[in-house]
Structure 1
Amino acid sequence: MKKLIFISLLVIGLTACKNNKETKIGQETTEEAQKSIEEQIAVAHGLNNFDAVEEIRFTFNVKVQDSLRTSRAWTWKPKTNEIRLTQGDISQTYTKTNNISEDDKDIDQKFINDSYWLLFPYQMVWSDATISEEKTGTAPISKKEMNYLEVSYKNEGGYTPGDTYVVYYNDDLLLEEWIYKSADGKREMPTTWEDFEDFQGLKIAKSHKSPDGSFELFFTGIEVR
């Protein structure tokens, strides 16, 4: 009799565990579905791991026709927003605030540009951008049918007001290509998002190339602590 009671309790316990597990999975699925598409893309690139980051180091490089035109090394402490730029033999440090001094605007503009390339999927959530509904179309470089979003910025404020980015992403919600469009419509530049690597849970594309490969923007020396 005791043996039958024990087996019955064991079956009930296992059933309860299974139901709890299924409920938890169901809740997680529902929560994920409730996120906007830009939030889902940011999470796919590791946004949920960013709060644990104490420091990021990276070098932003631009190569045109096999000639290195730009190389800037950055150290960023997100929790304090202390930022250091090293370019050649010169280093500059500033703390990013809502009111940037005139003396710091040049370095701040460079940091925003370089860090946007590094972590743009997060900026889709962090920044004050207007995000379109999800659409489907032909990607500019691979010519594949892909989902895409248009990320647009206001015509005032910031260093490049009115710019738009059209981001194309795969079924895993990782960016594969994008098109940068200037506010005045005079400049349009498509590049790839490739050579992804996981840095402490942050999925970062280390290389961005133009359709003919004559332009490459790439990152080296990435460290996440």
Structure 2
Amino acid sequence: MAFATLFLFLMLLGCNNGQNTSENPNTASKVTDSLENTSISYKIANANGFQHWKNISEIKFTFNVDRGDNHFQRSWIWKPKIGDVTMVSVNDTVNYNRSKMDSLTMKTDAAFINDKYWLLAPYQIVWDEGTTFSEKKNTVAPISKDTLNQLTIVYGNEGGYTPGDAYDFFYDENYRIKEWNYRNGNAKKPSISTTWEDYENFNGLEISKMHKDSTGGFKLYFTKISVKKDSIR
């Protein structure tokens, strides 16, 4: 796969339309309240600090991809309560609000949705609407071959940047994601499988900073992560 094609592919990974999410903390509590505490999706989200999201006012991060000697990165500043997004790349800086997008900002938003999905996938499985879930116990993980549990999420065929896609989350007994598959269009064969490792706590949010494929030649990782909470009065 050519490197340019790889990045086009990466930009589309995880791109469910933000219009079908409840990532705004003002409405996220309603999503949480509607879920049973026994649901696997809720347990995975909560194990990664989802209960703290309602207090988050800003998150900054740099999305990096290494493939061989090639490196790509872009940085984001997101204020989820008001919807403001800033993207900083080597060539450009773009500012927009997710409630006021136009044709010029849609491309940038597709990149944002992709990068945010990699960063916060444990929360996306709670936020995103129009999805179906299935579960498997004691299944073999694609990379480590460890015995883990599996939660599969399939997106609906309408709406979003890449409708109909599927993700297989492989998680341990503590509901922490260890690996995943991305399956374009819900195909049987994964388009890509990576690890979830190097977790770190940022103001209550448990974030996996490193994702590698089975060869180690592909790495997708996050740097310069900063999470701000609302001031407590």
Alignment TM class, shorter chain as reference: 0.7 to 0.9
Q: Alignment length, in residue pairs?
A: 192
CA distance in 2, matches of 1:143, 1:115: 27
Quote how far apart the aligned CAs of 1:66 are.
3.4
Give the number of the structure with larger relative contact order, counting CA–CA contacts within 8 Å between residues 6 or more apart: 2
**2:125 counterpart of 1:124:** yes
Which amino acid in structure 1 is aligned with residue 111 of structure 2? K
SS in 2 for 1:106: helix
Q: Give TM-score scaled by structure 2 length.
A: 0.79
For 1:152, the equivalent position in structure 2 comes to: 154
Q: Alignment identity in percent? A: 43
SS in 2 for 1:183: helix
Write the mapping of 1:104-123 to structure 2, written as runs, cut at 5 A.
104-123=105-124
Whose helix fraction is larger, Structure 1's or Structure 2's?
1
For 2:44, the equivalent position in structure 1 comes to: 41
Which amino acid in structure 1 is aligned with residue 168 of structure 2? V
For 2:53, the equivalent position in structure 1 comes to: 50
CA distance in 2, matches of 1:151, 1:91: 33
For 1:192, the equivalent position in structure 2 comes to: 195
- Decide whether the 8 Å contact of 2:212 with 2:218 is kept in 1: yes
For 2:88, the equivalent position in structure 1 comes to: 86
- Decide whether the 8 Å contact of 1:178 with 1:191 is kept in 2: yes
CA distance in 2, matches of 1:178, 1:131: 15
Which amino acid in structure 2 is aligned with residue 171 of structure 1? E
Q: Give TM-score scaled by structure 1 length.
A: 0.81
- Decide whether the 8 Å contact of 2:61 with 2:77 is kept in 1: yes
CA distance in 2, matches of 1:189, 1:107: 23
- Decide whether the 8 Å contact of 1:66 with 1:214 is kept in 2: no
CA distance in 1, matches of 2:125, 2:141: 19
SS in 2 for 1:204: strand
Whose Rg is larger? 1
CA distance in 2, matches of 1:184, 1:170: 23
- RMSD in angstroms over aligned alpha carbons? 1.7
CA distance in 1, matches of 2:183, 2:36: 30
**2:75 counterpart of 1:66:** no
Which amino acid in structure 2 is aligned with residue 113 of structure 1? N
Quote how far apart the aligned CAs of 1:132 are.
1.2
Gaps of 5+ in 1: 1-31
- Structure 2 residue aligned with 1:76, among 72, 75, 78? 78
